Amino acid sequence: MRNYDAAVIGGGISGLLAAIEVAKAGKKVILLEKSSNVGGRGISVRKNGALLNLGGHAIYRGGAAYAALQRFGVELEGGIPSTSGSIIWKNELIPLPSDPLKLLTSKLFSFSGKMELGRLLMRLGKINAAELADVSLREWAEQEIVDPMVRHLFYTLCRTSTYSRDLDYQTAATVLHQVHLSIKSGVLYLDGGWQSIVDQLQKIATNCGVTIQMGASVSAIKHSGGAVQGVHLGSGELLEVERVISTLSPSDNFRLVPGAEQTILRHWKEDSRPITAACLDLALKRLPVVGRDFVMGIDQPIFFSNHSRAAKLSDNGTIIVHMIKYNAVGEHDPKADEQLLTDMMNLLHPGWQQEVTAKQFLPSITVVHDYPHKSRRDHKPGPAVPEIRGLYVAGDWASHGEMLLDAVAASAGRAASMLIQEAEETRDVINV
Ligand SMILES: Cc1cc2nc3c(=O)[nH]c(=O)nc-3n(C[C@H](O)[C@H](O)[C@H](O)COP(=O)(O)OP(=O)(O)OC[C@H]3O[C@@H](n4cnc5c(N)ncnc54)[C@H](O)[C@@H]3O)c2cc1C
């Protein structure tokens, strides 16, 4: 194999972003992806003329991912979905108070609850996150929100923005920031699904000179004397390289690095709290109840959104809707979850079964491998693995306060910058 300055493991959005950044700094980069396509959890599946993301995906317009993708020239076309919709409370659909006027007439809240909700929404962007330190979301909400119904709605907004219902572990600062991002700048549903991001990143990577090797499953990261020596591939081949960015999960990194129990990789694995979800994704000839596009469960952890109201996702006019059941950490009951999502669809759109042209059920997909949470340690994983020179990590779990794709983009940027800087410093030392 030709000599490379760096290898990036994993061809998801983390790996693509990291590889582009390193290649743009003039380094020779190889991207190793075990499957036959890049994109990882960011792909969209084409079925019967419809494009289905792996569960509902939205990009936060005020976040790090949006900024990084724009900086690389990725065109993000699509629409900002309206948040006018309903909630489900005690199995009944109730209009969602999406603006102050509707809030005043809503039957959901008492008069004092309405006042409290209004004040809460106004305050969100002004809270000083630094002062919240390690306060959990529940601790913050129980201290700050008096009205139980307002607290229910607040937790629902938090869940929708973060995919997590880990109230006792989520750090209030990061969740409040994410909710504020979604309210302030909104999210974007992308034309062509998230596949449009993946396709453009793949093209940019190739144009920057990144070698993309598919079907290359990394079986171990070789290191000796405290420094990376290369990566072993499943084929038995050894790729000699001094710098590696791994975008795999904390448990995969632990498995791939010999002696990982003596490194910080062990803590990253043991501390991680993966968020999973059950997703029901449908393409429909028409939506039985026109205008019923956005629904959040309040007393059940479920969510429905018609993505076609904001983005072009099919060639033939079919409507793409995504439903999610948010799992608690470790929760896994695919049969019950599919039933719950089917029941939601029956409540929202009676007769929907006759309209289905494509369907995808993902029983328990990992949304993120970890997220900022209360922990025994300072929980800011990466970018470097301090015990092994030349090894860096990125991915949705390697967050320094960001969430979801914003953590992906921010961590890929951190890993790439540190790798570039250390490569330059080594070169300077050799030149001296
Ligand atoms: C249902 C769902 C909804 C989501 N919604 C949102 C949202 O609305 N907004 C948002 O910002 N984010 C959202 N996300 C999160 C976002 O999709 C992910 O965080 C992001 O796609 C992860 O990218 P990644 O590159 O870190 O990991 P992955 O996409 O998992 O990429 C890892 C890659 O590594 C490859 N690989 C694994 N092992 C090896 C090996 N040994 N050797 C070589 N290659 C290997 C895999 O095949 C894969 O391609 C959602 C995720 C899910 C699942």
Distance from C-alpha of 149 to C-alpha of 239, rounded to nearest angstrom: 57
Average per-residue pLDDT for the chain: 93
For residue 408, which atom of ligand 1 is closest to its CA? 26
How remote is the CA of residue 42 from the centroid of ligand 1, in Å?
Answer: 6
Distance from C-alpha of 88 to C-alpha of 93, rounded to nearest angstrom: 5
Which comes out higher in pLDDT, residue 87 or 104?
Answer: 87
Bridge-partner residues for 294, per DSSP?
305
Is the confidence at residue 430, as pLDDT, over 90? no
Task: Say what the pLDDT of residue 170 is.
Answer: 92
Task: Say what the pLDDT of residue 75 is.
Answer: 97
How remote is the CA of residue 202 from the centroid of ligand 1, in Å?
Answer: 15
**How many residues are there in the chain?**
432
pLDDT in tens, 158-212: 999 999 999 999 999 899 989 988 888 999 999 999 999 999 999 999 999 999 9
Give backbone dihedrals phi and psi of 153, rounded to 5 degrees, phi first.
-65, -40
Could you tell me what percent of the chain has a pLDDT over 70? 96
The residue nearest atom 33 of ligand 1, judged by CA position, is 10
How remote is the CA of residue 366 from the centroid of ligand 1, in Å?
Answer: 8
**Is 390 near ligand 1, meaning CB less than 6 Å away?**
no
**Is 249 near ligand 1, meaning CB less than 6 Å away?**
no
The residue nearest atom 27 of ligand 1, judged by CA position, is 12
Kind plus residue range of the DSSP H or E element containing 79: strand 78-79
Taking a C-beta distance cutoff of 8 angstroms, is the pair 95, 109 a contact? no
**Is 398 near ligand 1, meaning CB less than 6 Å away?**
no
Kind plus residue range of the DSSP H or E element containing 51: strand 50-53
**Is 415 near ligand 1, meaning CB less than 6 Å away?**
no
Considering all CA atoms of the chain, what is the largest pairwise distance in Å, rounded to the nearest integer? 75
Is the confidence at residue 353, as pLDDT, over 60? yes
Average pLDDT over residues 373-396: 89
pLDDT in tens, 266-312: 999 999 999 999 999 999 999 999 999 999 999 999 999 999 999 99
**Is 235 near ligand 1, meaning CB less than 6 Å away?**
no
Which comes out higher in pLDDT, residue 423 or 106?
Answer: 423
**Is 17 near ligand 1, meaning CB less than 6 Å away?**
no
pTM: 0.96
Is the confidence at residue 90, as pLDDT, over 80? yes
Extract the tokens encoding 391. 């090894």
CA dihedral 266, 272, 278, 283 (to 10 degrees): -90
For residue 32, which atom of ligand 1 is closest to its CA? 43
Which comes out higher in pLDDT, residue 143 or 96?
Answer: 143
pLDDT in tens, 133-157: 789 999 999 999 999 999 999 999 9
Task: Say what the pLDDT of residue 429 is.
Answer: 63
Task: Say what the pLDDT of residue 351 is.
Answer: 97
Is the confidence at residue 94, as pLDDT, over 70? yes
Burial pattern 216-246, b for ≥16 Cβ within 10 A else e, equals bebeebbbeeeebbbbbbeeeeebebbbbbb
How remote is the CA of residue 180 from the centroid of ligand 1, in Å?
Answer: 24
Across 178-331, where does the E strand assignment appear?
Answer: 187-190, 211-213, 218-224, 227-233, 238-240, 244-246, 275-284, 294-297, 302-306, 319-326
How remote is the CA of residue 367 from the centroid of ligand 1, in Å?
Answer: 7
The residue nearest atom 50 of ligand 1, judged by CA position, is 367
How remote is the CA of residue 277 from the centroid of ligand 1, in Å?
Answer: 13
Q: Confidence class of residue 428 from pLDDT cuts 50, 70 and 90? A: low
Distance from C-alpha of 222 to C-alpha of 232, rounded to nearest angstrom: 7
Is the confidence at residue 1, as pLDDT, over 60? no
Task: Say what the pLDDT of residue 378 is.
Answer: 64
Burial pattern 32-54, b for ≥16 Cβ within 10 A else e, equals bbbeeebbbbbbbeebeebbbbb
Q: Confidence class of residue 60 from pLDDT cuts 50, 70 and 90? A: very high
pLDDT in tens, 25-56: 999 999 999 999 999 999 999 999 999 999 99
**Is 365 near ligand 1, meaning CB less than 6 Å away?**
yes
Q: Confidence class of residue 83 from pLDDT cuts 50, 70 and 90? A: confident
Distance from C-alpha of 265 to C-alpha of 250, rounded to nearest angstrom: 7
How remote is the CA of residue 372 from the centroid of ligand 1, in Å?
Answer: 17
**Is 13 near ligand 1, meaning CB less than 6 Å away?**
yes
> How crowded is residue 91: how many other Cβ atoms within 10 Å of its Cβ?
11
Average pLDDT over residues 117-127: 84
**Is 248 near ligand 1, meaning CB less than 6 Å away?**
yes
For residue 256, which atom of ligand 1 is closest to its CA? 41
Q: Confidence class of residue 128 from pLDDT cuts 50, 70 and 90? A: confident
